[in-house]
Copies of this chain bind each other. A is one copy, B any other.
Amino acid sequence: MSDEFDAVCEAVRERVVPDDAERDHLEAVIDDLVDRTEAAVADLPVDADVRLVGSTARDTWLAGDRDVDLFVCFPPEISRADLEAYGLEVGHAVLPAGHEEYAEHPYVVGEYEGYQVDLVPCIAVESASDIRSAVDRTPFHTDYVEAHLGDLADDVRLAKQFLTGIGAYGSNLRTRGFSGFLVELLVMEYGGFRPLLEAAADWHPPVELDPEDHGQASFSDPLVVIDPTDPTRNVAAVCSSANVARLQHYARDLLTNPREDLFEPRDPEPLSADEIRDGFADRGTTPIALQFATPDVVEDQLYPQLDRSLAGISDELDRRGFDVLRADRFATDETSVLLVELAVAERPAVERHEGPPVHVGDHAANFFDAYEGTDAFGPFVDGDRYVVERERAVTTAEAFLESDALFDVALGTHVQSTLEVDYDVLVGAEAVAGLAADFGRDLAAYLSPMP
């Protein structure tokens, strides 16, 4: 078994560890970029250090990755306005064909010799607890990993590739998985890829790790890894329960039945419209999709908003008795979809409404008076309470989604403003099958859910 596991890891290692040619090329590109950046900094009225950060700096990038992160570290005295201005000035000088992106402040992104280069200004604070924006923390992470990684770089690569294979790699807010730094910390904590798997297989969340034994806050996340450079921060804060569970599941799976395909992301064949229609028809459910133009925000804003909207709508449909079996959200740059799959799509014209116990004096009398002589059935006595059966305003999920009541639900801000302009409601297997063109792959995954 151990031999088999080792053989699988060795085969994966051959693919994910960069060869000498790739290393040499990357090194040359980096040298070149650092020189160009330092030259640009020299033209500024302030001094700044140029630092390579990220997985290329830590020797933990996966073969074939083409990302270089260069940080320009300004002294703490700099104003925010100067930081932004100088940062962009340097960025455009180094990457003349680049464009600006915006995280906590703007920076320049551009292609250079086949690499995607992020040129990010930050502030060289004394310690990670003094940071002014999240990017200021990155150099500390790089220092920490460089100092402690030892010979585990290739184990980090295996772990990253494995998490990629099981769909749990990436701390973006679409995935809510494991960040590169988190993987590095976990591999260091347990002493390698295999020990990490063996530990994860036995985790009982919440799991709390504190490599520097200096944690100063408590967290309610399923996985807590205190940032070794900041005692108040959980590096695993965005990692969802489901991704922690997924790692546990596949860790057991890989240890029990080692095989290379677990390191390869599943990429299901897109379903055709007919397959989607038949898939839902076989389940006997009523799929309903809300389809609208994708709001013009970055993915890390888009997906939390889609998730929030989907949860709000699902909860409200459940509350109204349209039992939601499962729900999901899909998006292209142009179109977003909130899909809810209902076990019950229609309710009767009347609904039970429980009043107070008859004995609670005025409250009970007010309830009775409010309904007596109306069209409602009752009030009658059931157990010790007044009950009425009153008319239900909305008897189908479709009617709810097409009513103004939809906007009483907590929706993501940009989702709400988009829906206020226009949206479509697709009801039933036949209608939802029309999503095949844009979302055939997403619906294939939806109809064949994996751990």
Residues on A facing B (Cβ under 8 Å): 202-205, 222, 241-242, 244-246, 248-249, 252, 282-285, 321, 323, 325-326, 343-344, 347-352, 357-359, 361, 365, 368, 377-386, 389, 395, 447-451
Contacts and interface: CB of A to CB of B under 8 A. Distances in A.
B349 A282 contact: yes
12 contacts: A222-B384, A242-B383, A242-B384, A252-B365, A282-B349, A284-B348, A284-B395, A285-B350, A321-B344, A325-B350, A326-B389, A378-B451
Nearest to A203: B359
Given A245-B358, A359-B248, A381 B347 contact: no
Contact of A283 (B285, B348, B383): B348
Q: Which 5 A-B pairs have the closest CB atoms?
A: A380-B449, A284-B349, A284-B348, A245-B358, A285-B348
Contact of A361 (B202, B245, B325, B352): B202
Nearest to A360: B204
Contact of A380 (B204, B248, B451): B451
A358 B344 CA distance: 29
B244 A384 contact: yes
Contact of A384 (B205, B386, B451): B205
A379 B249 CA distance: 11
A202 to B, nearest CB: 7
A181 to B, nearest CB: 23
Given A326-B352, A386-B451, 9 more contacts: A245-B381, A283-B349, A283-B389, A284-B350, A321-B344, A325-B350, A344-B347, A377-B449, A378-B449
A357 to B, nearest CB: 7
A331 B451 CA distance: 53
A356 B73 CA distance: 49
Contact of A381 (B249, B284, B343): B249
B359 A204 contact: yes
A325 B389 contact: yes
A349 B282 CA distance: 7
Contact of A241 (B241, B344, B383): B383
Given A321-B343, A359-B203, A450 B380 contact: yes
A193 to B, nearest CB: 20
B205 A245 contact: no
A344 B343 CA distance: 10
A359 to B, nearest CB: 5
Nearest to A280: B348
Contacts of A385: 245
Contacts of A382: 242
A361 B365 CA distance: 55
A254 to B, nearest CB: 14
B368 A249 contact: yes
Contacts of A350: 283-285, 325
A75 to B, nearest CB: 46
A348 B286 CA distance: 8
A203 B389 CA distance: 26
A185 B252 CA distance: 71
A344 to B, nearest CB: 5
B205 A359 contact: yes
B283 A381 contact: no
